Chains A and B, each alone.
Chain A
Amino acid sequence: MTEAVKIKLSKKDLESDQDVRWCPGCGDYAILATVQRTLAQIGIKRENTVFISGIGCSSRFPYYMNTYGFHTIHGRAPAIASGLKITRPELDVWVITGDGDGLSIGGNHMIHALRRNMDLKILLFNNQIYGLTKGQYSPTSAIGTRAPSTPTGSIDHPLNPISLALGAGATFVARAADTDAKLMGAILQEAYQHKGAVFIELLQNCPVFNDGVWEAVKDDPAGRQIALAEGKPLVFAGGTKGITLGPGMTPQVVDVGDGPGKTPVSEIMVHTERGSMLYANLLAQLVQPDFPIPMGVLYRHDKPTYGELATQQVDDAIAKQGQGDLNKLMYSGMVWEVGADGTRH
């Protein structure tokens, strides 16, 4: 056996010949560049890679990737991707969606793709606004968001994409900011290796309709982000602050250190990607403005994918019943012969 030759690709090899049409300053540019660079580093087979999207600004993504791509309809990308992945398990199928596409009109498909542990890599660009339709508030917009459809402020509570993904049953859940190429690249590398439903929330800036929505988080990574690392304590602000669990299992921010009013680092919660669902949900509840936001891989779990089980059932049926014989199938049930005289024999 010869060793598999790693395909040498550059970022350029993954760029299609189409002009990118996002607004100047859109966070999507940075995400596109990181995805292209990372997949080139991985050395993917372009022909075995498919990007499927719904509708919205982010959903134009497949046109710019020099792979197979399918720009579908609003919210339905996970369903279309599921049909492809079930029937073509050898393909790497990526789903590109946004907070409106994936959590509002397509919320049902999102839940069920994750629940089934469909082997899809879902990138959700969360900018807390509808961009392509000109700025209406989205299911992740903060309460009170003033938008053309909510001139006096939105009155519905935002949903938490990470909580939703965990609750639905995603087996790889991560978060990164659009401009953090290093972290996003590392997460994409891990996600590529994961078998099962990947859900990555990308904090993305819309400079036209919701400029700066993640500014506080992105501009102060030390103070407003927790860089998750396996086996390491949940600390931030240069290790001076950390997270502990208070009464009623309430997470709280404490000053880390020895001495009065401080909590020794040994008492700070320690991150593990393969922790309990309870722990992962706790991480998901660390949100602005009371907490710094956890960035990196929040949760990981291995279990059979829908595609594996579906293929297995077909293989088992063939092993048990033999390769389907059409004649036998046609002749099943009550069968009789009519003879040359036209009557039953």
Chain B
Amino acid sequence: MAGKVRATSLGSEGKRQSMDTKHLDRVVIRFAGDSGDGMQLTGTEFAKAAAEAGNDISTFPDFPAEIRAPAGSLFGVSGFQLHFSASEIHTPGDAPDVLVAMNPAALKTNLKDLIDSGTLIVNTGAFVEANLKKAGYASNPIDDGSLSKYKVHAVDINHLTMAALDGSELSNKEKGRAKNFFALGLVFWMYGREPESEIRRIYQQFAKKPEFGEANVKVFKAGYHYGETAEVFQTVYKVPPAVFKPGMYRNITGNEAIALGLVVGAQLAGKKLFYSGYPITPASSILHSLAKYKNFGTMTFQAEDEIAAMGAALGAAYGGSIAVTASSGPGVALKGEAIGLGVMTELPVVILNIQRGGPSTGLPTKTEQSDLSQSLFGRNGEAPLPVLAAKSPGDTFYCAIEAVKIATRYMVPVILLSDGYIANGSEPWPLPNLAALPRFEVVHRTDPSGYFVYQRDPRTLARSWVIPGTPGLEHRIGGIEKDALTGNISYAPDNHEKQTHVRAEKIARVAQDIGELDLSGGESGDVLLVGWGGTFGALRQAQQQLAAQGKQVSHAHLRWLSPLEPGLAKIIHNFKRVVVAELNMGQLRQVIRATFLIDAIGLNKVQGQPFKVREVIDSIEKQLDTKHTEPAAVAAQPLASA
């Protein structure tokens, strides 16, 4: 990008070396190795360093479901992709510029994504016959010329790690485990990152096992110095800081932010938070976070199963708490009947679905958006409820607050959708000004005069939230259809129809509390790209790139899926084509077709991976091509493998 400048870099031994420094606007780097190689830690630490240096970042951890898959196997490869940039970015990047491959299996499974002439750092120490065989290599790719189009740096990280720890009292196995810190040190050097704060972090992280902390620091330094001294690396790359809006920032993942949002949401409502869950990937870490927030009065409950987690949340809501449960698709399926009870008894509960690939156990650690239909329709009977989806890690904070607000204001269970990509991905997040967040204080009715259980607020149609402990208001609720006023059991035909309509109308009225549609581009044009949830970054970036070329393309991001964003109806008919992009077979597209009676086109991908910006651009360009006469897809059209 920018021109080369001569610079000096100061080695920690005080040795000065002349180096080239090359300025880059952005870099996508991927660390790949065995699931026991510590690639997630390496990636996370390097992301911290990038954030610390003021870059905009976006991360994409991508790991197998097995905790420690057999060493060297193809299915056991764990990866962490980091996009760091001097300008604003929305995605972890389409293709890595740099790949760090810790073994042959990691090389085999990731090389196809590396850009042509990309930088490849391989740990030659792991390229031994057994590993090559496991990865299906007939010959060693490092020697056979098959990597000639890449800038290959062959480094025996295994050996150098052991050498750095020569004389250490750790076992060879323990020493070997430090090798990810060698890789980390090396890339620190390559991108001119300040090693001191990382060294501090390592000591902190291993404070309880100082011998490991010491070893990791030694190996980290060895990697750093190797970069400095080995003649193969002649260039230090600099990605200058990005320009952000002024303010305080922190790095945050989706699951961290959603937990904070729930704590803040409960406080804004003036209530205590109760959170129940059952362990499931990728939702569990929300429970882990909240379990640490007890001094906020937060109560967490690890239930015996998913149904009990939902049941306990209903019980807590009945008692007047801000009740939340979280799971992923399989767990939400189990909760279905109890969610229906929440719809029937009109109790405020927030249900988080951190989506993963399905059906059944599916792809536990991979991302997908295939639980939208489940959220909208996955209960017996006519059981509508509000559904919203977060678009990015930091956005989950605000979505969580909004979910709490709508649940308590409308007395209804609310489903908030996130996904594995948002949950584990991280980004720099401007810290909110808590004092400026509007409060939505919950008031429980205490006046017994003229009380009826299903008497409704004229604006929201919510019934009053009367909680046990209130004298004179003793009443009974339950899952059997209730009289529209008194709440007594009623099987009357007209009453059931009335109640069914009221429950639907209540959800429709949530629209009055939904903000403006998030639209990028004009209110009319050739193509309207519609998306929801975690695909936001890729779709928005694709639209912006096309718009910059003068294309008449707009992007509508839907935060609310039920009720549908009211702003969409106003513009959707102003476009020649509507493309609905989702990581599923077309679940939102079905809704849009049914709602607006338009021939919406699907852009669908079900590979357990997020959209690449390129894929979205290609698809829209096809639609912009006036000669393109292919009929709109009725069935979903999976993308050809990239």
Contacts and interface: CB of A to CB of B under 8 A. Distances in A.
Chains A and B are bound partners: yes
Interface of A: 16, 18, 45-50, 52, 55, 62-63, 65-73, 76, 79-88, 90-91, 108-109, 111-112, 310, 313-314, 316-318, 320-324, 326-327, 329-344
Given A63-B476, A314-B297, A324-B297, A87 B250 contact: no
Across chains A and B, which 8 residue pairs bring their CB atoms closest together, nearest first?
A: A83-B315, A71-B478, A79-B311, A83-B312, A324-B296, A344-B54, A342-B243, A317-B294
B436 interface: no
A286 B82 CA distance: 67
B246 A47 contact: no
Contact of B51 (A88, A109, A336): A336
Interface residues of B, number: 75
A42 B315 CA distance: 25
B477 A71 contact: yes
Given A76-B307, A335-B431, 14 more contacts: A63-B476, A68-B474, A80-B318, A83-B276, A87-B274, A109-B307, A324-B298, A326-B263, A330-B250, A331-B250, A333-B251, A340-B246, A344-B52, A344-B53
Contact of B489 (A63, A90, A326, A339): A63
Contact of A76 (B311, B316, B489): B311
Interface string B292-303: 011111110101
Given A63-B476, A331-B248, A337-B247, A108 B311 contact: no
B550 interface: no
Interface of B: 48, 51-54, 241-252, 256, 260, 263-264, 267, 272, 274, 276, 293-299, 301, 303-305, 307-321, 323, 337-338, 341, 345, 431-432, 434, 467-480, 488-489
Contacts of B252: 333
Contacts of A112: 303-304, 308
B477 A84 contact: no
A79 B477 contact: no
B319 A330 contact: no
Q: Interface SS of chain A: helix, strand, loop or mixed? A: mixed
A71 to B, nearest CB: 3
B478 A72 contact: yes
Contacts of A329: 260, 263, 293, 296
B316 A338 contact: no
Nearest to B51: A334
Contacts of B315: 52, 70, 79-85, 87
B321 A87 contact: yes
A344 B241 contact: yes
A329 to B, nearest CB: 7
Contacts of A343: 54, 241-244
Contacts of A335: 248-250, 431
Contacts of A80: 311-312, 314-315, 318
A317 B297 CA distance: 9
A7 B252 CA distance: 54
A112 B308 CA distance: 10
Nearest to B476: A69
A79 B250 contact: no
B320 to A, nearest CB: 7
B304 A71 contact: no
B243 A84 contact: no
B305 A108 contact: yes
Nearest to B303: A79
B476 A84 contact: no
B293 A83 contact: no
Contacts of A72: 311, 314, 341, 478-479
Given A76-B338, A79-B312, A329-B260, A336 B319 contact: no
Contacts of A45: 471
Contacts of A47: 468-474
Contacts of A314: 294-295, 297-299
21 contacts: A18-B488, A66-B474, A68-B474, A69-B476, A70-B318, A70-B345, A70-B478, A71-B479, A72-B311, A79-B303, A79-B311, A80-B315, A83-B274, A84-B468, A108-B304, A317-B295, A323-B296, A324-B293, A324-B298, A329-B296, A344-B53
Nearest to A311: B299
B338 A91 contact: no
